[in-house]
């Protein structure tokens, strides 16, 4: 395939296929661009543009996740990786020439259909040029922007704050100026080249590993050995464009395609406030935030690929395939994030999976009941989850949980929110509860939580991008009951485990919440074991307790709402029902009265 552009033409030379990845060379004016492709060329094309000082390898993890449904393309920007550099360098990196390169690649890989454009850092900066100039109209279907503003929009943002200053605007300007210190350094003659080809180039992988929690030299060959030269050449991106556009920004920089803006709240280089006025320039804007740092393609490939896929699907379907933005009350907080819920086949677990799905989260529904978990995942997709999967596992089985965690990380990504909800009921006096009964309830209610926290919590901590763990405890965790010694003990242990883990993980940005429901209308009563009684009496008690809970009729959906609220607010202990809140309050003002209540036969 080959195509031509207004910028000097393009030429695609023979392809090289290695391990399912196609590589080709595309000519754009005086440079030759290295282009790689994944997936089926008959599918819609997603075109990924990397930033500074990266190469196309920064996209490897995202590309692999998208390749099963899209034709995915990435290329080394001129002067980077295996693409050639212009000569001379000065004047060779203007946004106009970068636009020529984009059109050359787009014509080569998708001559008959517009592409879904995705940019990060300087890849996003130049992509803003692509979606706001007339000559690219009809070649772009959508644009997803990450950590890279339009220089023209940025210039107008600065002018408004300088010409009409207010204390708030001045603070915003000073804050962004502090974050942009490196821009001035990159304008310094010869110094950036010397630093990058010297100590910084050698130390950059370690710096990324420490600051962004990136695995240096990880899969996909990122960062590449060409990094020092790439960074030295890339300094001209700033020199050829920044000063000119910030001083004389275009007034017609209106996006002619739908735009999805993804803003990491922990970006060290760009303030969230930079995008406050973006509605003026983007008629069709979807904005998402994510608690992460700058290098999203490496630290959040699972979530980024999910958002890109959902946005592309929406545009391909005329805006009807999936909503541009989930409609739940916590959509901005949880949209696109990955949540795993145990005990998800019914009750509180299923309601929690649905609540996260409504907020646009991706859901992994886990349960011993394979059919029930599959049904939860199916309904979660219908409710609003961009993706939902069902997994079968026994939470009390350590090896099974280890395998589950490895599979989830490999296929879906590192979990952002973990809800350890699986549990069983057990009632009966201490003397009637056998050692085997104790093992059963502790294996599921306590060890199941321990296994979940250990295997998934470790993944969160190693990723270094925060997260949240929710453990379902109970009113019984702090309300003594002579009828529930085993159950109460297991839930009290879950509560204390949650408090201890919260203290340990706080410094790593991982929150831990213990949810304490009371009498909630779920099917746990129908499966509760009543110790020390014959089978016929056990069934009678199960039926009686189920009727009592049904008359109380406190729905699991209210518990699910409390779970999402606890994560959003990072709450430590959350009594949910009125009786749970009342018992916790009574325990503080009159522990003796609370202990007296424990002598009464109370429902679980």
DSSP state of 466: -
What are the residue numbers of the active site?
Answer: 487
**Residues 103 and 96: beta-carbon distance below 8 Å:** no
Angle between helix 227-247 and 151-163 (nearest 10): 50
The closest of 354, 340, 349, 356 to 391, measured between CA atoms, is 340
Q: What does the alpha-carbon distance between residue 194 and residue 388 come to, in Å, rounded to a whole number?
A: 49
**Residues 354 and 380: beta-carbon distance below 8 Å:** yes
Assign 3-class secondary structure to 252-311. Answer: CCCCCCCEEEEEECCCCCCCHHHHCCHHHCCCCEEEEEECCCCCHHHHCHHHHHHHHHHH
Sign of CA dihedral 159, 162, 167, 173: positive
**Residues 357 and 381: beta-carbon distance below 8 Å:** yes
Say what the alpha-carbon torsion angle 524, 526, 531, 536 is, to the nearest 10 degrees: 180
Q: What does the alpha-carbon distance between residue 453 and residue 458 come to, in Å, rounded to a whole number?
A: 8
**Residues 376 and 365: beta-carbon distance below 8 Å:** yes
**Residues 408 and 362: beta-carbon distance below 8 Å:** no
Distance of CA 62 to the CA centre of its chain: 12
């Amino acid at each position: 395939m080959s195509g031509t552009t207004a910028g000097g033409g393009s030429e695609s030379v023979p392809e090289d296929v290695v391990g399912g990845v196609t590589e080709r060379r595309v000519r754009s004016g005086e440079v030759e661009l290295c282009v790689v492709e994944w997936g089926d060329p008959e599918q819609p094309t997603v075109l990924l543009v990397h930033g500074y000082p990266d190469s196309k390898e920064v996209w490897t993890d995202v590309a692999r996740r998208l390749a099963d449904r899209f034709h995915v393309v990435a290329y080394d920007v001129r002067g980077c990786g295996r693409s050639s550099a212009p000569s001379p360098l000065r004047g060779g990196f203007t946004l106009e020439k970068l636009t020529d390169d984009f059109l050359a690649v787009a014509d080569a890989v998708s001559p008959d259909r517009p592409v879904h454009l995705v940019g990060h850092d300087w890849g996003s900066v130049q992509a803003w040029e692509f979606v706001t100039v007339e000559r690219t109209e009809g070649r772009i279907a959508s644009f997803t922007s990450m950590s890279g503003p339009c220089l023209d929009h940025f210039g107008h943002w600065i002018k408004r704050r300088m010409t009409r200053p207010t204390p708030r605007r001045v603070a915003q300007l000073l804050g962004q100026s502090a974050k942009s210190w490196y821009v001035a350094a990159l304008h310094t003659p010869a110094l950036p080249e010397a630093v990058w080809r010297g100590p910084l180039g050698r130390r950059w992988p370690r710096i990324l590993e420490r600051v962004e929690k990136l695995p240096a030299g990880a899969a996909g060959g990122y960062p590449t050995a060409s990094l020092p030269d790439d960074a030295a050449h890339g300094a001209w991106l700033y020199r050829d464009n920044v000063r000119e556009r910030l001083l004389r920004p275009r007034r017609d920089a209106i996006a002619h395609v739908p735009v999805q803006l993804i803003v990491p709240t922990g970006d060290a280089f760009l303030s969230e406030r930079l995008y406050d006025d973006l509605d003026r320039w983007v008629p069709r804007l979807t904005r998402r935030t994510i608690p992460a740092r700058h290098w999203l393609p490496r630290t959040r490939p699972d979530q980024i690929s999910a958002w890109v896929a959902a946005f592309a699907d929406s545009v391909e379907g005329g805006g009807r395939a999936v909503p541009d933005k989930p409609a739940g009350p916590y959509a901005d907080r949880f949209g696109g994030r990955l949540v795993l819920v145990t005990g998800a086949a019914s009750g509180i677990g299923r309601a929690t999976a649905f609540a996260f799905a409504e907020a646009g989260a991706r859901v992994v529904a886990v349960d011993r009941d394979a059919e029930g978990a599959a049904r939860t995942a199916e309904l979660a997709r219908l409710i609003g989850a961009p993706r939902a999967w069902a997994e079968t596992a026994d939470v009390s089985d350590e090896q099974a949980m280890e395998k589950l965690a490895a599979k989830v990380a490999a296929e879906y990504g590192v979990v952002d929110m973990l809800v350890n909800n699986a549990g069983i009921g057990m009632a009966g006096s201490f003397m009637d509860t056998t050692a085997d009964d104790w093992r059963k309830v502790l294996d599921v209610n306590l060890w199941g939580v321990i296994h979940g926290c250990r295997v998934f919590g470790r993944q969160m901590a190693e990723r270094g991008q925060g997260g949240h763990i929710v453990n379902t405890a109970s009113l019984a965790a702090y309300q003594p009951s002579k009828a529930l010694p085993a159950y109460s003990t297991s839930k009290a242990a879950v509560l204390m485990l949650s408090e201890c883990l919260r203290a340990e993980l706080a410094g790593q940005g991982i929150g831990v919440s213990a949810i304490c429901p009371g009498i909630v209308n779920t099917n746990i009563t129908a499966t509760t074991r009543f110790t020390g009684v014959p089978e016929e009496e056990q069934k009678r008690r199960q039926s009686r307790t189920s009727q009592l809970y049904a008359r109380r009729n406190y729905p699991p959906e209210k518990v699910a709402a409390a779970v999402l609220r606890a994560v959003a607010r990072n709450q430590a202990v959350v009594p949910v029902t009125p009786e749970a809140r009342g018992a916790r309050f009574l325990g503080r003002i009159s522990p003796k009265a609370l202990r007296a209540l424990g002598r009464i036969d109370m429902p679980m």
